[in-house]
Structure 1
């Protein structure tokens, strides 16, 4: 079956009020109707949405589906970054991607992750000290603002060796980029980060240190090395991927545990289960609804549907992770689940290089928080929690908690 993105009839728009209220119910209906759907995004852009896990997994590894925006023939309307920030692994395919990946792997080594562990533990404890103080004086505290958001920023700051004197404004720019109040704030934040990273690369080139940026500058492969734009762009990618996803996984993950007291009790009783609990959280509570968009370089068939070259394809991770043909009782959160082969960190060529660091941060953050706050509970009814819900992600804006034993709010 072939459909046209220029069909006269209006395209279905699944991301409306029903989606805002319950995204997984919408994905469930789409899955039942078929794997592949031609729909409109909120801005009117036509996209092919893939919902069955088997098709998502297979297509993520299909090299005919490009991440390179040059292959877009449908007027892709994504936000335009400066060229120096766009030359990263998420926008490159095949030989270009493999070349950068080989060079980046030399800098992003297990040694860096291991070195960062004490720094992460120290950052977690400092933030928990502040969180406990806020709860003791005010009765409650917001996990998002005071724990989940600042933690990955401090880790990325350490990873890139951002000077202490610059960390406050660096964090302010990142906040302006991830949660801007206006488009002007977003543009200003991205420009400020761009200029800062250019300066940081120049500083590391002149005086290398024991950090990933210095190692990336020194990395060579058969005489090749990263260009200036590639270095700045990769630093920007580390910042984006390492900040936003980890923040939302910590807050979404904590709410998920609080919503499943039997699972939380099992995890408290056996803390060694945390690694597999993190894997189940990645499947069940991952904030990213979709993988990065793809553009077919030729006509491809997915789930029995022929998709023309140049169209925009979105793979729904949220739908795939709740696919009953792939997972037993997919809507059940189960830290004892044996099938943990999720797609949250990618699949194929674009598997996340920072996966070990992300897993470490989530495990340390949730593990130490549960240990330090044994009587943690929600400080507001779950139905009153504010969410950011778009076709792209599903994440808490705030997560007020308390340690008062009299608190009765339960998801």
Structure 2
């Protein structure tokens, strides 16, 4: 596509690729700092990893299940407080009005695992971060007298990802543009992205941020042809999540402690319009599920539910599967990165939040790189041309999977 020299030109300070939690958090953060930003999204806003997440904002204790606090645990210990500050309208990103599904999460355990966890959770190291509950305070799904384990409360929260998208898109709605790589060419030079041509409008940013999750891999290949980030690479770690639609009325936001240092099962609860609930199941079940066929994973999920909740009747429940790919910077042995990730090469920054809870950390890291670059805030952009299509907002997949329209 050839762009006429008379075509409108927009010159933002920063152009962001990707409209998931990373890109949306960054455009809000950077706009608040005075930078003029635009964002390009190829699909729907939040439609990939963000809406596929469980909305868990945790402080790392679910990674301490081996009995020690890892570097990963320490790196994200302050994140729930950062999110709460944002929900209170404080900080660079204002999340006022965000719907919180649960102010706390639970850990539950049984048998020999319960004995091991009692010693660790009672340690001075965790005092104030975790509380052992008495039976009257158990979540209803674990309140049956046949449950003989222990339940702990974590001071972590769970947010509604649909509400999160609404809150993050509202202040910047006119700056979130649809981008079609097949129709909208990109021009690179040895400093970074020279221009993007969108439907007769030329966008010439001073600095570009790649925050497109799995889309970073393709953008990175193009950048590397211009000799940018020659040694950078992406990785993808898959999950096979299970969704359980039921009418039992039990809301659960919890991690089941198994024998490993990862949760055996992680459960969050989400509402359907017909009054039913969806339990969204992650943890070890989802990680090991990638090695199973769909039928095997559904069988494994039913066995796990029967074993962990023998007092609940799931006979009338509906099950569905969702394949999720977690996009990250490449690590040795496909390990999980400990922190949010941001690197700069001249006028190009590449980022991955690595998990939803680390979005505030990502904002801090990107702002520091921009300041290191010495980028000054520019003049306000003119009105965004109406011929540029705005990106649509995505919806959680459970509405589609269980046949709910609208």
Under TM normalisation by the shorter chain, which class is it? under 0.3
- Normalized per residue, the structure richer in helix is 1
The two structures have a TM-score, normalised by structure 2, of 0.23
The two structures have a TM-score, normalised by structure 1, of 0.23
